[in-house]
Homo-oligomer: A and B are copies of this chain.
Amino acid sequence: MSSDQSTPPSSDTVTAAVLLIGDELLSGRTKDINLGYIAEYLTNIAIELREARFVPDVEDEIVAALNALRTRYDYVFTTGGIGPTHDDITADAVAKAFGKEIHHNPEAIALMKVRYEDGDLNEARMRMARTPVGAKLIPNEISAAPGFRVENVLVMAGVPKIMQSMLDVAGPTLRRGKPILSRSVRVESGEGTLAAPLAAIQDKYPDVALGSYPFSENGRFGSNVVLRSKDEDLLEAAHVKVKAMAEELAGTGQLKIKTWS
């Protein structure tokens, strides 16, 4: 794979990490679908997701992960832990990570007063208006309680529909890199057969990342080869080579292999 993690951020490259917070994700009770959604969303707006971490509802763990990620990547997106219950501690952890005070954000209170009658805006719900001082709100269309942004960290809900709405609000405000273009070639041959010719193409095109992803369909095995690059000419040149490889392999009767690879 040609992606170089040590590349410093430039106007061409904007990087990100996702921090997913919640005991329920680590116990297996809740199966996360947010990471895949955010990954695809960021790819579509030319932000490169470089890392993701899942941590429990433990303040020190959230703070440590957040500080490791926010100093390394252009953006960090968090999910979970911003509801009204005692285990919702993300706002406090973010404040602690940045060394900022936490307060009841006046704009968040105003947003919530639109939705809740006075009697319903109890202490627990008011918890959802707490942000580090100076945070910018990230409202959403589903729930009254907003997410928020502190410097390069965007704090979002764990409930997928709410998170997705927050991402729609925040997305247009983010800096974007040069898009990574991609092509995909279906190869009717196991990875063990295509590995050598594919590696030869990879050697020739170091600035095109070639990945191979096996599939199984009706008892037949094959691979989808994915090409990714920021350089359209190089991508097309490599694409031609991979397609030729696929045709050649299909012609050699290598279709009926016995195993995944």
Q: How far is the CA of A61 from the CA of B72 in the complex (A)?
A: 13
Report how many copies the assembly holds.
2
User: Given A36-B32, A86-B202, A202-B86, is A51 in contact with B50 using a C-beta cutoff of 8 Å?
Assistant: no
A244 interface residue per 8 A CB criterion: no
A41 interface residue per 8 A CB criterion: yes
Q: Interface stretch among A97-105, A124-132, A146-154?
A: A124-132
Q: Interface stretch among A114-122, A170-178, A231-239?
A: A114-122
Q: How far is the CA of A89 from the CA of B3 in the complex (A)?
A: 14
Chain A, residues 47-76, CB within 8 Å of chain B (1/0): the string is: 011111111111011000000000000000
Q: Describe A's contact surface by its main secondary structure.
A: mixed
- Whether the pair A29, B226 counts as a contact (CB closer than 8 A) is yes
- Whether the pair A53, B53 counts as a contact (CB closer than 8 A) is yes
- Whether the pair B209, A260 counts as a contact (CB closer than 8 A) is no
A142 interface residue per 8 A CB criterion: yes
Interface residues on chain A, number (Cβ under 8 Å): 82
Q: How far is the CA of A123 from the CA of B89 in the complex (A)?
A: 52
User: Given A84-B195, A87-B212, A211-B87, is A54 in contact with B51 using a C-beta cutoff of 8 Å?
Assistant: yes
With a cutoff of 8 Å between Cβ atoms, the chain B residues found around residue A255 in the complex are: none
With a cutoff of 8 Å between Cβ atoms, the chain B residues found around residue A196 in the complex are: 122-124
- Whether the pair A142, B260 counts as a contact (CB closer than 8 A) is yes
Q: How far is the CA of A51 from the CA of B65 in the complex (A)?
A: 10
Chain A, residues 176-220, CB within 8 Å of chain B (1/0): the string is: 000010000000000111111011001000000111111000000
A-B contact pairs, 29 of them (CB 8 A): A3-B56, A3-B58, A5-B58, A6-B60, A24-B211, A26-B49, A26-B51, A26-B52, A28-B38, A30-B213, A31-B36, A35-B54, A51-B61, A52-B53, A52-B54, A57-B211, A84-B191, A85-B194, A86-B198, A115-B258, A120-B257, A122-B195, A123-B196, A125-B192, A128-B192, A128-B261, A142-B260, A143-B259, A143-B260
Interface, chain A (partner B; CB < 8 A): 1, 3-6, 23-33, 35-43, 48-58, 60-61, 83-87, 89, 115-116, 120, 122-125, 127-128, 142-145, 159, 162, 180, 191-196, 198-199, 202, 209-214, 226, 228, 257-261
